[in-house]
Amino acid sequence: MTAKATSESSWQQDVIDADGPVLVDFWAAWCGPCRMVGPILDEIQSENGDKLTVLKLNVDENPNLAMEYQITSIPAMKVFNRGQVEKTIIGAKPKFALEQDLAAYIG
Catalytic residues: 31, 34
How far is Cα 58 from Cα 45, in angstroms, rounded to an integer? 18
The edge-to-edge listing of strands for the beta sheet with 76-81 is 4-5, 53-58, 22-27, 76-81, 84-90
Give Cβ neighbours of residue 7 (< 8 Å, ≥ 6 apart): 57, 58, 61, 62
Give Cβ neighbours of residue 22 (< 8 Å, ≥ 6 apart): 14, 15, 52, 53, 54, 55, 79, 80, 81
